[in-house]
Amino acid sequence: MVPLKVICAGFGRTGTDSLRLALNHLGYNTHHMYVMMNNEGEQDPEAFEDAYRHPEREVDWDKLYAGFSAAADWPTIAFIEPLMKKYPDAKVILTVRDPEDCLINTVVLDGAFADPKQFLDKGAMKAKFLAHNKRIQETIPADSLLVMQVGEGWNRLCQFLNKPVPDIPYPRTNSTDDIARARRQLR
């Protein structure tokens, strides 16, 4: 078993896929929605859904994250508190950006994706986004938390994780333009 050493608490569309690639380059194996969507490894989406629907039940987090030393994006974001309880020595990275840049039609949060009225309510989604970021910053000890702006690059990340700064550019994937292109191709 490899316990989670890094838990990324930033919402989707806040650079989580770029962070996944950066963490993998730094030697971590990062769980991300990308991994689940591409059915990489022994993924069990139903177990994550069950954990979300029944927070009172015991969850075998080691099994759900078997083989991963870091986790980012969904479904991880829904489980920050229990994951921090299970892995108290993990470092937490909160990726942030201006909510106006990314929120509507992209963020999945606490059932909002399944509730079209809530999901399309820009004010409600922005409030969820800001409340989440505030909660993370208020509950995670400062020495275990890095608040990282989208596009910030390697320096503070590597310093926070005690890793040397790579001599390659910080990854930049899954941009708004990339998403728009993918939507056009699907149509």
Q: Is residue 24 in some structural domain?
A: yes
Q: pLDDT digits over 68-103, tens only?
A: 999 999 889 999 999 999 999 999 999 998 776 654
Mean pLDDT of 168-187: 64
Q: Please name the residues in contact with 141: beta carbons below 8 A apart, sequence gap of 6 or more.
A: none
- Give the residue with greater pLDDT, 176 vs 63: 63
Give the range of the structural domain holding residue 44, as residue numbers without chain letter. 6-186
For residue 37, which of 16, 8, 6 has the smallest C-alpha distance?
16
Percent with pLDDT over 70 in the chain: 76
Asked whether the beta carbons of 69 and 29 are under 8 A apart, the reply is yes
Q: What is the Cα–Cα distance from 129 to 107, expressed in whole angstroms?
A: 9
Q: How confident is the model at residue 174 (pLDDT cuts 50, 70, 90)?
A: low
* Domain count of the fold of the chain: 1
DSSP string, 161-184: HT-PPPSSPPP--S-HHHHHHHHH
Q: Is residue 1 in some structural domain?
A: no
Asked whether the beta carbons of 150 and 175 are under 8 A apart, the reply is no
Q: pLDDT digits over 107-158, tens only?
A: 344 444 445 555 567 787 788 888 989 999 999 999 999 999 988 999 999 9
Asked whether the beta carbons of 133 and 63 are under 8 A apart, the reply is no
For residue 107, which of 152, 72, 74 has the smallest C-alpha distance?
74
Q: pLDDT digits over 7-24, tens only?
A: 999 987 788 899 999 999
- Give the residue with greater pLDDT, 186 vs 32: 32
Q: Is residue 107 in some structural domain?
A: yes
pLDDT of amino acid 108:
46
- Give the residue with greater pLDDT, 179 vs 86: 86
Q: Is residue 70 in some structural domain?
A: yes
- Residue 168 pLDDT exceeds 50: yes
**Which CATH number belongs to the domain containing residue 16 in this structure?**
3.40.50.300
